[in-house]
Amino acid sequence: MTHFATRTESRHASTECVWTELERASFAVIGYVTPAGEPRSSGVVYKAVGRRLFTVVATDSWKARHIVTGSTVSVTVPVRRGGVLSLVVPIPPATISFHTTAIVHPAGAIDVGSLSRELESLLPSERRDGAVVIELVPEDRFLTYGVGTALMDMRDPALSRAVVPVQHGQLEG
């Protein structure tokens, strides 16, 4: 089942559509600010569990040193589009961008198996004592480009952009 619109469907993404795309994807770029006020961005592999994103980073990484619990972190997830056509024609990915509040779990402080079996693949047993888990809780709204839009309509920004509420449901708190 695809969540990209055909020419006769709605041209805007729904909250459920965005969450489905976030669950399918596994790569994001996160942006944060160092204590000295310098902007940084880094690519991360993540898993979506219960409408939150989890990433695992080395304890000596920029992310582990500069992202603290309560930090606001920006996230952009590229969403591949075009299938076989993208091999012939350069088609940029659709994107989902949003801000989150970070919850940092120090090395060994979280039982990843209790959250999700899929999350265990991000943190092999041999790395559990030396890795930090960063939980990203999306807030407010998603800004999307090309999600819920027909491929050819991505050429028109007015048709491709959408603002979609996050809606955490029972996990909101």
Contact 99, 72 (CB under 8 A): yes
Residue 6: predicted pLDDT: 37
* Nearest Cα to Cα of residue 57 among 160, 131, 164: 131
For residue range 96-152, list pLDDT tens digits in order.
999 999 999 888 777 666 666 667 777 666 776 778 889 999 999 999 999 988 888
Name the DSSP class of 4: S
Contacts of residue 167, Cβ cutoff 8 Å, sequence gap at least 6 = 15
Residue 147: predicted pLDDT: 92
Local confidence band at 19 (pLDDT 50, 70, 90 cut-offs): very high
Looking at the chain, the whole-number percentage of residues with pLDDT higher than 70 is: 80
Residue 14 Cα to chain centre, angstroms: 16
Fold of 15-168: Pnp Oxidase; Chain A (2.30.110)
Task: Report how far residue 23's alpha carbon sits from residue 27's, in angstroms, rounded to the nearest whole number.
Answer: 10
More confident residue, 113 or 89: 89
Residue 9: predicted pLDDT: 38
Local confidence band at 23 (pLDDT 50, 70, 90 cut-offs): very high
pTM of the model: 0.82
For residue range 31-76, list pLDDT tens digits in order.
999 889 999 999 999 999 889 999 989 888 889 999 999 999 999 9
Local confidence band at 12 (pLDDT 50, 70, 90 cut-offs): low
Task: Report how far residue 91's alpha carbon sits from residue 36's, in angstroms, rounded to the nearest whole number.
Answer: 37
Local confidence band at 10 (pLDDT 50, 70, 90 cut-offs): very low
